[in-house]
Structure 1
């Protein structure tokens, strides 16, 4: 059953925030742009309607979802978003050398990319609608845009998905933050669940891509994952923090631009 909470922001920025249960978890949309209530309420209504549509369309566990029908070989609707997601998943698979793989054992499951993609699309839609200052949070996926208060960057705590403790804080006006490790990640080459790392966080301009990269790096394990994270950082847009099972952190150098001092990723 969906629950909803609408409250006026208590910060110095006017706006509105709402939390609802979507995709099996609380999702919050916090808008700080000064808009009248007659505009904010429909924006929030549309935001959660979009997220529920994504869940209904892409959840492989729902018998009537498009993904479930596709897995059964049934007839699917011509949904442009479905084609987009599957194409992006193929792109991620190629970019990661097959370590991100939406099809395992003949079953399509784009969940390693989907939530980040849905939040990224929502963030762009809110910005286009005039709500350029916002934060969207769904579990370990976070998208911030604009300012949390006049002239102030958003402060995002990156939590350990196993303990909930804040491991690092990043500050940004426009950033996607995706952390993998709180749920089962499968090695696409063996079909086995991997558990060699504590967590992987990837930050960058597109939350969907960051989500996919975090999933892939976690599946790769420590050595291969660190190498790929370094290559990804040198390509320019995405930075990574890898946490080992022993709690030790290594980060790509650009990560420090958002979070301050810390361990650097060698090589």
Structure 2
């Protein structure tokens, strides 16, 4: 499925939005920078070609992906991005005390990091190509940069993946937003499904890291996850919102700094 829409309202930037099915979900790239169609079209073509390449290379569900070949002990291509991703995953494992772990039972699966990493790389590439005002959305991972309209920050509704209700709205010119809890997360210490909270959202400057942290905090469970989230916020620019299974919201102090007056909506 592919749709392209050209925004012509005087209150928004001209630009283009395209949606395609990648990684088993709709992925949208919304560019608001005023560029001519002859530049926007190839930019979007390249954007989705990159995302398809990432899926073909890193998906453990694809038998011919490099990850699947690696897990079978087969021959793999010399792909610099593969080395980078595995290195970043090892760093996340160390930073989270092993709660983010791409190697479980001898099988490598970077799924808790790869989507955020791919969108982060794409966002940087779009900026370098002159499309600095954009929003990329893939499921519960969102990367915004620049402005949604002249002088306006992007408005991002954070949804509870269990109910699809919007629980918080954040406003930003440059931010990654990753939410874990919409799909199964494995406890790396037991190999069983994690008994996590309802959901975990981490926001920060690098969507790949935010994605990995959200996965780890969810796997930790409510008590350990809250402590780690507080330490993470105290050490750097990553803030966390945890929604408990009974619907309560627990946020680190800096998270509220990104929220507007309409912090809670009903769906």
TM-score (norm 1): 0.96
Say which is worse superposed, 198-207 or 8-17, in terms of deviation.
8-17
In structure 1, distance between residues paired with 2:46 and 2:87: 25
Deviation of residue 163 (structure 1)? 1.2
Contact 2:196-2:220 within 8 A present in 1 as well? no
Q: Residue 29 of structure 2: SS of its match in structure 1?
A: strand
Matched, 1:164 2:164: yes
Q: Residue 7 of structure 1: SS of its match in structure 2?
A: strand
Deviation of residue 260 (structure 1)? 4.5
Q: Which residue of 1 aligns with 2:203?
A: 203
Q: Which residue of 2 aligns with 1:241?
A: 241
Q: Which residue of 2 aligns with 1:258?
A: 258
Bigger relative CO (Cα 8 Å, ≥ 6 apart): 2
Contact 2:171-2:260 within 8 A present in 1 as well? no
Unaligned residue ranges in structure 2 (runs of 5+): none
In structure 2, distance between residues paired with 1:161 and 1:126: 28
In structure 1, distance between residues paired with 2:61 and 2:149: 40
Q: Which residue of 1 aligns with 2:126?
A: 126
Count of aligned positions: 261
Say which is worse superposed, 252-261 or 233-242, in terms of deviation.
252-261
1:12-31 Cα distance to aligned partner (Å, 9 max, x none): 21000000000000000000
Q: Which residue of 1 aligns with 2:183?
A: 183
In structure 2, distance between residues paired with 1:30 and 1:215: 26
Q: Residue 161 of structure 1: SS of its match in structure 2?
A: coil
Deviation of residue 210 (structure 1)? 0.0
Deviation of residue 76 (structure 1)? 0.5
TM-score (norm 2): 0.96
Q: Residue 38 of structure 2: SS of its match in structure 1?
A: helix
Deviation of residue 10 (structure 1)? 4.9
Q: Which residue of 1 aligns with 2:44?
A: 44
Deviation of residue 195 (structure 1)? 3.3
In structure 2, distance between residues paired with 1:134 and 1:198: 29
Deviation of residue 9 (structure 1)? 2.3
Q: Which residue of 2 aligns with 1:193?
A: 193
Following TM superposition, the consecutive aligned residue runs of length 4 or more in structure 1 with deviations greater than 4 angstroms are: 260-263
Matched, 1:99 2:99: yes
Q: Which residue of 2 aligns with 1:230?
A: 230
